[in-house]
Amino acid sequence: FAIILLKACSKDSDAPNPFEITVTTSDFSKTMDENPSNGQLIGIVSGSTNEGSVTFSITEQNPAGAFSIDPASGELKVANATLFDF
């Protein structure tokens, strides 16, 4: 599950010509085996925008610290393999 947040602002909030920012994402679902390795690539979260660039982050996870995501590429990896010992 990924949440992508976008914040946009300008120097003049009363700008007469507002523009539309579009963010496009796709669902991400992955099944993985027990006992992965630290740093193991789970998959890549994708997203795009018509203005600027997309930055990926994990805002909440349970258990905490289980995953990491590269803010630029969207690569989702195992951050703490001990949390996957079922």
- The band of 15, judged by pLDDT with boundaries at 50, 70 and 90, is low
CA dist., res. 47 & res. 43, Å (int) = 13
Residue 69 clears pLDDT 70, i.e. is over it: yes
Q: Hey, which bits of the chain come out as E strands?
A: 23-25, 41-44, 47-49, 67-69, 75-78
Q: Report DSSP state, residue 39.
A: T
- The band of 28, judged by pLDDT with boundaries at 50, 70 and 90, is confident
Entry pTM: 0.71
Question: What residue segments make up the domains of the chain, in order of their start?
Answer: 36-86
